[in-house]
Chain A
Amino acid sequence: MTRQMTGARMVVQALKDQGVDTVFGYPGGAVLPIYDEIFQQNDIRHILVRHEQGAVHAAEGYARSTGKVGVALVTSGPGATNAVTGLTDALMDSIPIVVLSGQVPTFMIGSDAFQEADTVGITRPCTKHNWLAKDTANLSGLIHEAFHVARSGRPGPVLVDIPKDVQFASADYTPPQAAKTSHYQPQMKGDIEAITELVEAMEKAERPVFYTGGGVINSGTAASQLLRELVDTTGIPITSTLMGLGAYPASGKNWLGMLGMHGLYEANMAMHGCDLMINVGARFDDRITGLIEAFSPKSKKAHIDIDPSSINKVIKTDIPIVGDVGHVLEDILKVWKARGRKTNKEALTKWHGQIDKWRETDCLSFKQEGKIIKPQYALQRLEALTKDHDRYICTEVGQHQMWAAQYLGFEDPNRWMTSGGLGTMGYGFPASIGVQMAHRDALVINVAGEASWLMNMQEMGTAVQFRLPVKQFILNNERLGMVRQWQELLHGERYSHSWSEALPDFVKLAEAFGAKGIYCDNPDDLDDAIMEMINHDGPVIFDCLVEKHENCFPMIPSGKPHNEMLLGEASTQGAIEAGGAVLV
């Protein structure tokens, strides 16, 4: 049975049929018919953000914390261009979102009409795919296809641009079951010969290591379960990228901590010294590899990825396996068990011994002395006081982000929302709103830097309006801390524009929005202040004044290999050469 309806109603119906319960958006002329439909129903909640960038990051936070597709709705022209940063962010981090944008009516496209922008053209390089819906008859099928593309294979952002006349016109609605099957069907199962080859290598390896990434999270919770089983039954140590934290629990006995530019000493040393590297859903990003020529020189490398273009892009792979992480891990476990659950026990014991020696370096140690809060201490206390809660952590971008990754422990997937690939300041606050919408009773904390936080601070209005009790935990060093750190290490301590003067009084700012503000600058008051934040039933801005000149260590300077990490202030002198300074 077919049903006639307007394009605008189709949009809402298609969203419902795709299981969408929340849309983050901002209205404008070119989406008014859709907003009119939203007004006349109760199944889908619309969250009015204060800037379209916020809508897209909120959709990302929603998606990342649920495993579902996030949805944002924006108007034409400036609404669509404001969505570009969020789309690019989602593309880099493989987050499934659908952005619906309004467009001027088809008969005005190309005429430089009011609020016309070539949205499909502008967003082509920053979406996985995008469409201009030219015809109401195809609109519902197109939206279903958009969801399919966003969530299938390597997930990513898609955009559907919908001209206003297409929203007004009527046609038959196509439900998802009746939509024509997409030719886009990425390969899920890995090649069994390659999988067997990997299992053979695992059985023999003397110094194996799992290097896991966001792909494990994207593959779904089952993939994380399989990973845990594989790691714990084989006893192979595991490290993860920033994006993959939580797939394997931080309390797990084989956990090495995060690797990479600000990763843990033992994790990077294990990567450098291993003889078998098993990359599961990570992409050899430059924050991970450091100097390519010196990257893990003695290891055989296996790479499991659903995206063939990730394989051999930067690092030569000996055992490439194209497929979904969950499917491939399942097959690895099957083959490994069928072959008798073998590992090179003796060598593995020695390997763990070596790792324990590296651990003794205690690369995250710091001293909390005096009356100034060290950022690391603030996070250590935050961890201690919140880890038993049903907790979700978002971050902004900068030093605080790296410290959060280092000092907070993630026991489960989908609990950690951070902008990895694009490094988008301003991501964390709106993302925390998206997370809180999906998990109304959870403790959602955005670990922020004061500079990043200001980039999307307008979303305070959203948090207050929708009673979202998001906690904005700002590590306020009154500096663009990460920039300041690079200037100290790479640019002769010339601190060009890396501090913020005229910062707002964050407590008053919170109050101006009708929220709660908490200020803390004394380590002795910190626990009480954090408890006050947790116990407040509503949004909080926590202004935590921290040491201004703290640097984030360990650090692999750009252009250096993993085994040349800087561990603390003493080791930084002359450590960075001119060659490294050109890298970002």
Chain B
Amino acid sequence: MAALKIKKGSNKHSAYNLRPTFSDVQESHTLAMRVDNEPGVLARVIGLFAGRGYNIESLTVAEVDHLGHQSRITIVTTGTPQVIEQIKAQLGRIVPVHEVHDLTVEGAAVERELGLFKVTGSGEKRVEALRLADIFRANVVDSTLESFVFEITGASEKIDAFADLMRPLGLVEVARTGVAALSRGAE
């Protein structure tokens, strides 16, 4: 059976393979969508997830095309393959959503997140924090005699790992942006 083909541009559901994918395995997918930057569009997306009981692991949104008034929303979600397909189809139904891309299945993608970490302490711990930050290529963006604020970008796992290391060294506060993602290559 050939996979259902939906021509590019002919429809906004290009990311969907509507063949059955029923399985119990939980998968994590990164979805990126282009939306009209109009009031309430984020509420529609979030309301869909809340109303239908889907997970949001991370969500980022910002206007990316000021002239066209379009934003990009990136959502990391988990679910069975069937649920993931449902989520994409449901997102596609939202009128101001132009395109939904499943970066997890549509070829390679880069995913990055930015984290800010406030670490307080003195003596050996402070030195160790700075040393680890260096290994992780985190930048010091603020410092006092008893604190640092580190800025780190990378895949979420890298930021998780950095957080784990900082915790015993005096981590007091974390701010993370959530994932921004793009497909690799020229397309």
Taking Cβ atoms with an 8 Å cutoff, the residues of A that contact B are: 120-121, 124-125, 128-129, 132, 149, 154, 183-184, 186-187, 191, 193-194, 197, 307-309, 311-313, 316-322
What's the least CB distance linking B68 to chain A, in Å? 11
Q: Are A124 and B44 in contact, CB atoms less than 8 angstroms apart?
A: yes
Chain A residues lying within 8 Å of B43, measured Cβ to Cβ, are: 121, 124
A-B contact list, 25 entries, CB within 8 Å? A120-B40, A121-B40, A125-B51, A129-B94, A129-B95, A154-B93, A183-B98, A184-B95, A186-B11, A187-B6, A187-B10, A191-B4, A193-B2, A193-B4, A197-B2, A308-B89, A309-B86, A309-B93, A311-B18, A311-B89, A312-B22, A312-B85, A312-B86, A318-B1, A321-B4
Per-residue A-contact encoding for B74-103, CB less than 8 Å = 1, 0 else:
000000001001100110111110100000
Closest B residue, CB atoms, query A197:
B1
Q: Does residue B72 face the partner (Cβ distance < 8 Å to A)?
A: no
A320 to B5, CA, bound (A): 10
Asked whether B82 lies within 8 Å of A322 as measured between CB atoms, the reply is no
A308 contacts B98, CB within 8 Å? no
Given contacts A197-B1, A309-B92, contact A322 B51 (CB under 8 A): no
The answer to whether B90 and A309 have CB atoms under 8 Å apart is yes
Task: Return the chain B residue nearest A149 by Cβ.
Answer: B95
* CB-defined contacts of B6 to chain A, threshold 8 Å: 187, 191, 322
Q: Closest residue of chain A to B2, judged by CB?
A: A193
Provide the bound-state CA to CA distance between A193 and B1, in Å.
10
CB distance from A454 to the nearest CB of B (A): 31
Contacts A317-B20, A319-B1, A322-B13 supplied; 13 other A-B pairs, CB < 8 Å = A128-B95, A132-B39, A154-B93, A191-B6, A193-B2, A194-B4, A308-B93, A309-B89, A309-B90, A311-B18, A312-B21, A312-B86, A322-B11
Which residue from B11, B89, B94 sits with its C-beta under 8 Å from A187? B11
The answer on a CB contact under 8 Å between A316 and B22 is yes
From B22, B39, B47, B93, give the contact of A125 (CB < 8 A).
B47
Interface class of chain B by DSSP: loop
The answer to whether the Cβ of B16 comes within 8 Å of any Cβ in the partner chain is: yes
Which chain A positions have C-beta within 8 A of B16?
308
| Smallest CB separation, A331 vs chain B (Å) | 15
| Most-contacted residue by chain A among B89, B92, B98 (CB, 10 A) | B89
Tell me if B167 counts as interface (CB < 8 A to partner A). no
Chain A residues near B44: list those with CB within 8 A.
124
A187 to B19, CA, bound (A): 18
- Complex alpha-carbon distance, A308 and B88, angstroms: 9
Assess whether B22 is in contact with A308, with CB atoms less than 8 Å apart. no
- State the CA gap A319–B82 with chains docked (Å): 16
Which of A194, A308, A320: most chain B Cβ within 10 A?
A308
Q: How far is the CB of B20 from chain A (nearest CB, A)?
A: 4
B34 CB → nearest A CB, Å = 10
B18 engages A320 (CB within 8 Å): yes
Contact yes or no, B20 A312, CB < 8 A:
yes
Tell me the nearest residue of chain B to A316, going by C-beta: B20
Determine if A317 and B11 form an interchain contact, defined as CB atoms under 8 angstroms apart: no
The chain B residue sitting closest to A134, CB to CB, is B39
Cβ contact within 8 Å between B5 and A191? yes
The A-contacting residues of B in range 1-52, CB under 8 angstroms, are 1-2, 4-6, 10-11, 13, 16, 18-22, 39-40, 43-44, 47, 51
Q: How far is the CA of A577 from the CA of B56 in the complex (A)?
A: 37
CB distance from B50 to the nearest CB of A (A): 9
| Chain A residue with Cβ nearest B90 | A309
Is there contact, CB below 8 Å, between A322 and B1? no
Complex CA–CA separation, A129 to B51 (angstroms):
15
A307:B93 contact, CB within 8 angstroms: yes
Q: Write the chain A residue with the least CB distance to B91.
A: A309
- Complex-state Cα separation, A312 to B21, whole angstroms: 8
Q: How far is the CA of A318 from the CA of B3 in the complex (A)?
A: 10
Bound form: Cα–Cα A186–B10 in Å: 9
**What is the distance, in angstroms, from A213's C-beta to the closest C-beta of chain B?**
18
**In the docked arrangement, what's the CA distance between A194 and B18, Å?**
11
Chain A residues within 8 Å of B98, by CB: 183
Measured CB to CB, the closest approach of chain B to A120, in angstroms, equals 6
Write out the residue numbers on chain A whose beta carbons fall within 8 Å of the beta carbon of B39. 132
Residues on the B chain within 8 Å of A321, using CB: 4
Q: Hey, which chain A residues are within 8 Å of B13, CB to CB? A: 187, 308, 322
> Measured between alpha carbons, how far is A241 from B12 in the docked complex, in Å?
29
Q: B102 CB to closest chain A CB, in angstroms?
A: 13
B1 / chain A contacts, CB cutoff of 8 Å: 197, 318-319
Q: Is the CB of A313 within 8 A of B4?
A: no
Nearest chain B residue, comparing its CB with the CB of A158: B95
